[in-house]
Amino acid sequence: MPDRSRSAILFRPDSRSYKAVRDATLTLGVVTGTLACVGYQPLILWIGAALLLLVVGVALVSAKLVVGPDRVSFEMFGISFIFPAAEIERDRFDELAFMNFFQVSMPDGRFLLIPHAAFSDTVPFDAIVALTEGQEAGREKDGGIDEAQMSGVNR
């Protein structure tokens, strides 16, 4: 039997507000596309608006968050943005909580803002926190250098 603690967990945004925005964007894209086909002027504006709304709508449909055994990844349009768990800065998770965002950031400046309203519960955020806690505990157990070891280095 495979070890379930080492498998990746897929999260798709599932809140009502997220689905409402996604559906409204797709509907407006179809409506503006229809207006472009009918020939409302300026035609290029209607075509541009329809394409923009449809691209945003498809991006919202394809968005998913994957919490793996050693990384967090965000995928959209088949493109994956990977954040290794060992490098995620845990102290910055709630930095933008006042704006209702969960922040996953890296020391090199890359970051991912996940709106709390996109998910109907806190399970994805709890999974990310648990993953980084597990990575930090593993680092301390496997090869972390404590202060006693550091004090003898320069003697």
Is the pLDDT at 51 greater than 90? The verdict is yes
118 lies in some domain: yes
Expressed as residue numbers, the domain containing 46 is: 8-138
* Full strand arrangement of the beta sheet holding 71-76: 9-11, 64-67, 71-76, 79-84
At residue 5, the pLDDT reads 55
At residue 84, the pLDDT reads 92
36 lies in some domain: yes
Average pLDDT over residues 93-116: 90
Total tally of structural domains belonging to the chain: 1
At residue 75, the pLDDT reads 93
Is the pLDDT at 71 greater than 80? The verdict is yes
Across the chain, mean pLDDT equals 83
Residue 43: pLDDT band with limits 50, 70, 90: confident
89 lies in some domain: yes
The phi-psi region of residue 109 (left if phi > 0; otherwise alpha if psi is between -120 and 50; otherwise beta) is: left
153 lies in some domain: no
Query: Between residues 151 and 6, which one has the greater pLDDT?
Result: 6
Residue 155: pLDDT band with limits 50, 70, 90: very low
1 lies in some domain: no
Query: Between residues 129 and 146, which one has the greater pLDDT?
Result: 129
At residue 151, the pLDDT reads 41
At residue 132, the pLDDT reads 86
Give me 78's structure tokens.
């088949």
152 lies in some domain: no
154 lies in some domain: no
27 lies in some domain: yes
Is the pLDDT at 35 greater than 90? The verdict is no
Q: Is 72 helix (H, G, I), strand (E, B) or coil?
A: strand
The phi-psi region of residue 14 (left if phi > 0; otherwise alpha if psi is between -120 and 50; otherwise beta) is: alpha
The residues with which 37 forms a beta bridge, in sequence order, are none
Average pLDDT over residues 97-120: 91
What CATH number does residue 23 fall under?
2.30.29
At residue 138, the pLDDT reads 59
Task: Catalogue the long-range contacts made by 48-57 (C-beta closer than 8 Å, 24 or more residues apart).
Answer: 53/25, 53/26, 53/28, 53/29, 54/26, 54/29, 54/30, 56/25, 56/29, 57/22, 57/25, 57/26, 57/29
